[in-house]
Amino acid sequence: MRVWNAVLLVCALLAPAVCQAQSGAAASQAAQTAEKPLATLTEATELAAKGRLDQSMAELDALAKMQPEEAGVERLRGMIFYQRDQLTEAGTALARAVRQDPADREAIEMLGVTLYRMNRPEQAIPLLERADAVPVKGANVEPRYVLGLCYTDAKRYDDARGAFAAQFGFAPESPEAYLVTARMFLRREFPDQAEAFARKAIELNPSLPGAHQLLGEVALAKADLPQAVKELEAEQKLNPLDGSMYDRLGDAYVRNGQFEEARVALNKAVLLEPNATGPYILLGEALVKLGEPVQALHYLNRAAAMDPGNYVTHNMLGQAYRALGQLADANREYKLAVAIQHKNEPRPEGAH
């Protein structure tokens, strides 16, 4: 006690200004710390916009502990979780954001998209419908597409047509609406519904480009080759400058054993779509079947240069070289095709 009193006395007699300055600085620092918040939503938003997600999340975690929690914190947390592909955490945060503010359109929309990605379309639909019912100037219209996919998975096909029509700006009863919906159905592997909607599009407009092509693609998916040829030839009359149509028509001819017809169609395809590898590969296959392996090599090597990682190309190159009797080259291409095809398969431990 005497020592402490002595220290106080020395401080008072010899250095009052120093003691006061130190005390004042400490008090000032404490006041500044008290005044300055640990984090702000604006700072967290700016960090997220710069891609500094870890720092942004750290600030949001601090803000989430404050009561009452500031509006917008959970929405941003959910969006960061979504960007990280942490869908369960994103769903939890976004659901909390919607409970906090039922009018938060962005949170409602993102929660719907998250639930769709979690294979819960029935739960996503009412949220996406709510978001779509409140148009926002400059908002991303992508959720309408997701809503259409949800309707498709829920087998609400006409509702899907309405959503896809809105996405593309078509009247819901128009032939274009039926056709774009048929395209989406085929992409989702709903071939029967795709066929029905494409036929409805043709019924509404027999000259609509793309409808017969889609029916041809449905027939190809079902391995109905005569029907595929019939539909794609009908498309050729309506849309004679579409390279993708000639690609599909050439594919149908090759599969149906009509190799000369395939050559004619695929020659047009490579002229109209010079940067697509598909027509070159199919043309190479048709030429091998026609007994013209030298010409086939020209197109197949072009395809290999454009996409070296396509095993189908190397397999066809092997066939072309074998037809020429160049067995070493053929074996090299076959081995390369097998290596490419299996390169992502798991290997046993210790295998090379």
Using one digit for the tens of pLDDT, what is the confidence trace for 194-218? 999 999 999 999 999 999 999 999 9
For 54-81, what is each residue's pLDDT tens digit? 988 888 888 888 888 888 889 999 999 9
Q: How far apart are the C-alpha atoms of 197 and 66, rounded to whole Å?
A: 53
Q: How far apart are the C-alpha atoms of 40 and 300, rounded to whole Å?
A: 59
Q: How far apart are the C-alpha atoms of 18 and 273, rounded to whole Å?
A: 83
- Asked if residue 297 has pLDDT above 70, the reply is yes
CB 164 within 8 A of CB 143: no
**Tell me, what's the pLDDT at 190?**
96
- Asked if residue 111 has pLDDT above 80, the reply is yes
Locate tokens 């710069």: which residue?
A: 50
Q: How far apart are the C-alpha atoms of 243 and 306, rounded to whole Å?
A: 18
Higher-scoring residue by pLDDT: 40, 114: 114
Nearest to 135 by CA among 122, 144, 125: 144
For 232-246, what is each residue's pLDDT tens digit? 999 999 999 999 999
Task: Please compute, for residue 38, the number of CA atoms within 13 A of its CA located in the half-sphere on the CB side.
Answer: 10
Instruction: Select the CATH number that applies to the domain covering 224-274 from these four: 1.10.3720.10, 1.10.10.10, 1.20.1740.10, 1.25.40.10.
Output: 1.25.40.10
Confidence of residue 41 (pLDDT cuts 50, 70, 90): confident
Residues 6+ positions from 240 with CB-CB distance below 8 Å: none
Centre a 10 Å sphere on the Cβ of residue 179 and count the other Cβ atoms it contains.
26
User: Average pLDDT in the 267-283 region?
Assistant: 97
User: Average pLDDT in the 86-97 region?
Assistant: 94
User: Average pLDDT in the 281-300 region?
Assistant: 97
Confidence of residue 45 (pLDDT cuts 50, 70, 90): confident
**CATH code for residues 280-341:** 1.25.40.10
- Asked if residue 327 has pLDDT above 80, the reply is yes
Calculate the average pLDDT of the chain: 87
For 153-199, what is each residue's pLDDT tens digit? 999 999 999 999 999 999 999 999 999 999 999 999 999 999 999 99
User: Average pLDDT in the 255-262 region?
Assistant: 98
User: Average pLDDT in the 322-334 region?
Assistant: 97
**Tell me, what's the pLDDT at 134?**
67
Highest-confidence segment of 30-34, 48-52, 135-139, 229-233: 229-233
Domain boundary assignment for the chain: 43-137, 141-208, 224-274, 280-341
Burial of 325 (0-12, 13-18, 19+ CB in 10 A): exposed
% of the chain residues with pLDDT over 70: 84
Q: Where are the alpha helices (DSSP H) in 72-224?
A: 73-83, 87-100, 105-117, 121-132, 142-153, 157-168, 175-187, 191-204, 211-221
Burial of 260 (0-12, 13-18, 19+ CB in 10 A): exposed
CATH 1.10.150.120 fits 43-137, yes or no: no
Residue 51 is given by DSSP the state T
- Asked if residue 9 has pLDDT above 50, the reply is no
**Tell me, what's the pLDDT at 71?**
85
DSSP string computed for 152-167: HHTT-HHHHHHHHHHH
Q: How far, CA to CA in Å, does 335 sit from each of 29, 281, 300?
A: 72, 18, 16
**Tell me, what's the pLDDT at 60?**
85
- Asked if residue 33 has pLDDT above 50, the reply is no
Q: How far apart are the C-alpha atoms of 162 and 210, rounded to whole Å?
A: 20
Q: How far apart are the C-alpha atoms of 246 and 203, rounded to whole Å?
A: 24
Q: What superfamily in CATH does domain 141-208 come from?
A: Tetratricopeptide repeat domain (1.25.40.10)
**Tell me, what's the pLDDT at 10?**
32
Residues 6+ positions from 88 with CB-CB distance below 8 Å: 118
**Tell me, what's the pLDDT at 316?**
97
**Tell me, what's the pLDDT at 32?**
43
CB 191 within 8 A of CB 218: yes
User: Average pLDDT in the 78-89 region?
Assistant: 94
User: Average pLDDT in the 313-320 region?
Assistant: 97
Centre a 10 Å sphere on the Cβ of residue 107 and count the other Cβ atoms it contains.
28
- Establish whether domains 224-274 and 280-341 are of one fold: yes
Confidence of residue 141 (pLDDT cuts 50, 70, 90): low
For 93-109, what is each residue's pLDDT tens digit? 999 999 999 999 999 99
**Tell me, what's the pLDDT at 64?**
84
Q: How far apart are the C-alpha atoms of 48 and 59, rounded to whole Å?
A: 10
